[in-house]
Structure 1
Amino acid sequence: MSSKIFRFKSRFRSTSVVCIREKSVWTSEKVVLSPYKDIEIPKLTVDQYMFRNLDKWASKTALVCGQTNRSYTYEQVYKKSRVFAANLRKKFKIKDGDTIAVLLPNIPEYPIITFGILAAGGVVTTMNPIYTAYEIERQILLSDTSLIITNEDLVPTVKEALKLAKKELPIISLNMTQSLPEGTISYKELVEDNHADLSVLNEVKRSYNDVAFLPYSSGTTGLPKGVQLTNGNLVANCEQQNTEIRQYEYTTESHQDSTLAILPMFHSYGLSICMLHKLSVGLRLVTLPKFQPDMFLNALLVHRLQLLYLAPPMVLFLGSYPQVTAKHLEHVTCVTSGAAPLPSADIQRLFEKAERDIQFCQGYGLTETSPLVCVTRMGEKTHEQVGYALPNMSLRIVDADTKNLGPGEVGELVVKGPNVMKGYLKNPQANSEVFVDEDWLRTGDLAKIDETGLITISDRLKELIKVKGYQVPPAELENVLKEHPAVLDAAVIGVPDPVTGERPRGFVVFKPGVKATDTEIIEFVSKRVAPYKKIQQITFLNEIPKNPSGKILRKSLKEEFSK
């Protein structure tokens, strides 16, 4: 195939940029290569990488709270994180590789705490602040957490979780506005300690190949698993975003782009793409603890944001909420949507509100890929595709026997690259299922790739239910249902929902001679799971349809009940 030349206008350069493909992105073995030039990945830990250019923007604002206007400069973030790290090491005896849980909403202190844990040699496991005590207990046990950092209002839930786990762990509380909860240690005292012995950090021996983050994901199916993301995985994914797909303007003495950190930082999208990457290049992050229409719109007006990273429900909100005007989007140069597919009609409604065409990009990724695999480039107008493979990445489309398929053929997308996780923590069975041909990661998503390498996500092969962009694993809810004393067997599927995209629907088989109402079962589950995982409808069956090996036939349930 002849070489391909792509020309596209960029707001960052006065002339057109030419990206030349010297040869076809498809190899003779039907492997798809990135059309972008390979890049060199710095052999740094995440905390080293974050502050490698500190001198360029030390006095610029790194973080500001969109609710209270509390803010920190880059120099303050660096210094406070180092003091926090020294105290973790000295006062809590944190050692290299110890896991520390962060259970917080999006606040300016989140990155300070994260970088402090990493600088102390620890591993960060992130938790959803709306988790129940049962969900927190499970992650504490699975991750072997040795310390928990949380908000003062979440301390009671954490204490309940520790009681369930039969563990006594230190709790550091961010007593920013309230008095310190009993039995906890003050974050403020640890981070504002002017006498901290920073020399203790010389003991830390962490490398590019060591695990830095341990978020929990359901993978393609099943219960949550600890995703081991190394320093190298995350540094690679940051560097991959600094190439031809770059969406930000460089931070200079006279200019600094701003973005909104509303996607939860405990999730890989908000953590890696919004927090880690944008702070690594000197941008200004405006944090919002949760999505509230008035707070969200006020942040758009007050902070003159250039970049928005959103999930589909937020794009839908901007395009349909009556109070949204062109003034709210006046400074926005690029909107990127991820986590779930977004119809073109929703994007057009956003343009109508803005009274102009904003650069709109769709991205695709997984927690297991740190997370970005591909994203549409600046200057492209197509909204059905998710762009090309990032630099240093290779892709395949495979059939049920993992045989490679060709251009335009639909199959499972499998990926390989420096941003692909080390593997699931202490889960060899899950690793054997998700990795094929040694280091190729199965995404569990159906896709097709055209002759130029442009990727279209066709459907979900995996069984996860997507509620407002969040992953809800059916197996997790099935396990909770089966904990009810009246339930013998259970199944859960995702059914269409006009507001959330999908919602979980449960199916229950009673134990002989025992009964319960659907309301009782729904309430039982609701106490044990986060709000977005709640089951709102229960159907009683005589038996759960299964194949000969005992696997639940969710497809059969969907065909009969999801219409």
Structure 2
Amino acid sequence: MPTESQYPNVPIPDIDLWAFLFERKDKPFPDNKVIYLDPYTNRSYTYADVKSTAIEFGMGLKALWDWKKGDVLALYSPNCIDTPAITWGCHWAGGVLSPANPGYTVDELAFQLKDCGAKALVTQMPYIENARLAAKKVGIPEDRIIVMGDQRDPALKVKHFTSIRNLSKSSRYRRTKMEPSEDLAFLVYSSGTTGHPKGVMLTHRNIVSNTLMIKAGEAGKLSWEGGPTGDGDRILAFLPFFHIYGLTCLIHQAIYSGLRLIVMPRFDLEHFCRFVQELKVTFAYVVPPVVLLLSKHPIVEKYDLSTLRMLNSGAAPLTKELVEALYARLKVPVKQGYGLSETSPTTHTQPWEDWQRKVGSVGTLLPYQTAKYMSEDGQEVPVGQVGELWIKGPNVFKGYWNNPEGTAHAKTEDGYFKTGDVGYQDEDGHFYITDRVKELIKYKGFQVPPAELEGILVSHPNINDVAVIGVYDKEQATELPRAYVVPAGGLGKGEREAAEICEWLNSRVANHKKLRGGVRFVDEIPKSVSGKILRRVLKTKALEEEKAKSKL
């Protein structure tokens, strides 16, 4: 029998995100509470600031560009405290937000802009050149590029988002009402194993339900003191807002629960430690490589991190050794959660009191969730046996954008999403993830599709065949992309040639897709009769190479 969540299922209000966040009657904190803070400039937004700025921006979209329900606004930027107001201003106007990785190349950004049909693009000044070139490629006019953040365009060719407002102050512009279960709030892009990223359609109801799920999971069925609340908790936010983990767990949770979110544009260990000490940070959402740094890096000794009461890790598996090393050094517990872009994202989290007892588990099911592990022949497997995890709930995505075939493959007729992740559950209802059916490489929480890198590499004039796999690096606590290359005749197989191939690829892809695992030369790529690359053979080869190296 499928496993049901043990949390009480509080009814999900049948409202869109704007009404859920800004028209609520049960808000337990004042309008003037600071929610988003930039620790570098001390610029901040209160709850009331976010709401008024979002309305002005939303009115501007309608007044200037005749913004209609379903129009897509793309966002190409690192974390910024302006992101929330722009996001909900887009929603106020009936739009859909599609965040893009600021590490994308022009071609990668252009693909997403074209695929999602973006009507306009928001970025920051350091990224304006790539934004302009990508917009030009797909026909977005330059006057539809907007900048946010502290810098403005000195040439005044590109408007700052604060200029996108209803200058006439006409009252004819009203908030667009949305159908929560049907209308999209976000189009996030998730890498697939077949090359180009897929647009994941997340409705207003998906995000409303997941925000409530996270809130319940952090309050929990607890014997321990529990997760962050609006009673003084401060969360350090470096996880990317363009990724579903940061988008829901940080941006939405902060404003719903009244948390202070201290926003870093990206992770920097010394800045992380300094802000924890100076701003008395109590909580952080992290990924395993950050846990590794906090448990081992000498810089940590320079700072007082004693205000941290808990860390929550996600995006990739967390090992028992890392949990224990961090606690031994800082006496800070770290628990684990699980989710995917297609589930908005969080479906499981470890109850706070179980962080030590169930190390390695991704936790128990959050509210509204039903899950089961399935065998390859479509049969549910019993407790303790390994299978593919299938999940059902109101947080499961609507489907893949313009990809009915992909949607039909990923979702069953009765509403289950096939996660592609393999694992099992124990007798206490704790879930474990042991492997992936999908072949995605996870580098520090970012998804790297092997087929995309293979497609680029095979175009190299000196490469006859290639396969890319993820190899686990203990020092960094993450997978690294590695290419196994069959060279064309005449190409040497030395370090110089390997370095040249790495450099060639790295100049053509986003930072997280670089060949940090290096290049290995082989005589042939192992393949099945049907021509499918046998990555498990290469993974075994990589493990053997590692063992041989450690014996030297």
Same fold (TM > 0.5): yes
1:401 is matched with 377
Partners of 1:220 and 1:450 in 2: CA distance: 30
1:232-271, Cα deviation, whole Å (9 max, x unpaired): 01100111123254244543xxx33211111111111111
1:136 is matched with 109
In structure 1, give the amino acid aligned to 2:422. L
Partners of 1:198 and 1:281 in 2: CA distance: 31
Provide the identity percentage.
35
Match of 2:50 among 62, 77, 81: 77
Structure 2 counterpart SS, 1:201: coil
Partners of 1:378 and 1:52 in 2: CA distance: 31
1:117-516 matches, within 5 Å, as 117-165=90-138, 167-168=140-141, 170-174=144-148, 176-180=150-154, 183-190=157-164, 196-197=169-170, 199-219=172-192, 222-243=195-216, 245-246=218-219, 247-248=226-227, 250-251=229-230, 255-325=231-301, 328-354=304-330, 356=331, 358-380=332-354, 381-382=356-357, 383-497=359-473, 498-499=475-476, 501-509=478-486
How many pairs were matched up?
528
Per the normalisation by structure 2, the TM-score is 0.90
1:263-284, Cα deviation, whole Å (9 max, x unpaired): 1111111111111122111111
1:91 aligns with 2:91: no
1:545 aligns with 2:522: no
55-64 or 203-212, larger mean C-alpha shift: 203-212
Contact 1:467 1:503 in 2 (8 A): yes
Structure 1 counterpart SS, 2:215: coil
1:529 aligns with 2:509: yes
Partners of 2:66 and 2:304 in 1: CA distance: 48
Unaligned runs of 5+ in 1: 1-29
1:14-65, Cα deviation, whole Å (9 max, x unpaired): xxxxxxxxxxxxxxxx211111222211112122212234684201001100
1:113 is matched with 86
In structure 1, give the amino acid aligned to 2:390. V
Name the CA shift for 1:181/1:401 in 2 (closer, same or farther; >3 Å): farther
96-105 or 503-512, larger mean C-alpha shift: 503-512
Name the CA shift for 1:195/1:295 in 2 (closer, same or farther; >3 Å): farther
Partners of 2:412 and 2:178 in 1: CA distance: 32
Unaligned runs of 5+ in 2: 220-225, 546-552
In structure 2, give the amino acid aligned to 1:262. F
Contact 1:221 1:462 in 2 (8 A): no
Task: Report how far residue 229 of structure 1 moved.
Answer: 0.6
Task: Report how far residue 134 of structure 1 moved.
Answer: 1.6
1:57-101, Cα deviation, whole Å (9 max, x unpaired): 201001100222111111011000110011011112221101111
Per the normalisation by structure 1, the TM-score is 0.88
Partners of 2:490 and 2:327 in 1: CA distance: 59
Partners of 1:321 and 1:512 in 2: CA distance: 45
Task: Report how far residue 522 of structure 1 moved.
Answer: 2.4
Partners of 1:325 and 1:196 in 2: CA distance: 54
Partners of 1:493 and 1:269 in 2: CA distance: 24
Name the CA shift for 1:515/1:483 in 2 (closer, same or farther; >3 Å): farther
Contact 1:220 1:443 in 2 (8 A): no
2:17 is matched with 46
1:317-362, Cα deviation, whole Å (9 max, x unpaired): 11112232596332222210111111222222222332x3x44321
Name the CA shift for 1:404/1:521 in 2 (closer, same or farther; >3 Å): same
Partners of 1:341 and 1:465 in 2: CA distance: 12
Task: Report how far residue 301 of structure 1 moved.
Answer: 1.2
Task: Report how far residue 219 of structure 1 moved.
Answer: 4.8
Contact 1:245 1:376 in 2 (8 A): no
Partners of 2:134 and 2:18 in 1: CA distance: 30
Structure 1 counterpart SS, 2:78: coil
Name the CA shift for 1:542/1:320 in 2 (closer, same or farther; >3 Å): closer
